[in-house]
Amino acid sequence: MHIKPKVKEEAIHLSDLAWKEFPPTLSSGGIRWKMLHASPEMGAWTAIFDCPAGSSFNPHFHVGPGEYLLTKGRMDVRGGSEHGGDTVLAPAYGYESANARHDQTQFPVDSEFYMTFLGPLAFIDPDGTPIAVVTWDEAQRAYAG
Ligand code: ZN
C-alpha cells in the first residue's frame, strides 16, 4: 500500500464564484448554481442552487445519499407533503437516501439550498431509464464549462 497524501483544504467566498445556469435539459424555470467542491476519492460533490419561483428539477434519482440545507424559500421533494413526499420551509435540513427517486422537485417561491451528493445524480425518463448521469466529474466540468 502507498501512503496517501492528505487532500488540501479549501475555503471559498461564495461572492467569488459566478452563478451559472443549471443545464436546462435537466431542469426548468431558470435554476442557477455554484459548484463548491468535488471529492474524486469519495465521488462526492457539493453545490448551492438558486431556484426561482416556479422552477423545478427534472426527474432523477440519487445513486448515493445526499444531505441538504434549505437556506431560503420552500422545496417540495418527492411531490411535497400533499403527495406523500416532503415539503420543507427554510431554514430546513434534509437527508435523501441512496436511490431516492425524485420525480418532482419543485420550488413554488424563490428558494436556495446547499447540498452534498455522495455519488452521481441519474436523470431518468418516466419509466426510470437513465438518460443522463451527473458524476462529480461531469458536474465540475459542466460548471467550469
Ligand atoms: Zn433529488
pLDDT in tens, the chain (145 residues): 999 999 999 999 999 999 999 999 999 999 999 999 999 999 999 999 999 999 999 999 999 999 999 999 999 998 899 999 999 999 999 999 999 999 989 999 999 999 999 999 999 998 999 999 999 999 999 999 8
Q: Are 84 and 57 in contact (CB under 8 A)?
A: no
How far is ligand 1, taken at its centre, from the CA of residue 81, in Å?
15
How far is ligand 1, taken at its centre, from the CA of residue 15, in Å?
25
How far is ligand 1, taken at its centre, from the CA of residue 29, in Å?
16
DSSP SS3 for 109:
coil
Grid coordinates of 48? 448551492
Check the CA dihedral 69-144-32-136 and report its sign.
negative
Using alpha carbons only, give the angle 65, 19, 97 rounded to the nearest 5 degrees.
10
How far is ligand 1, taken at its centre, from the CA of residue 8, in Å?
29
User: What predicted TM-score, i.e. pTM, was given to this entire model?
Assistant: 0.94
Residue 53 and residue 74: Cα distance in Å, rounded? Answer: 9
Radius of gyration of the chain (CA): 15
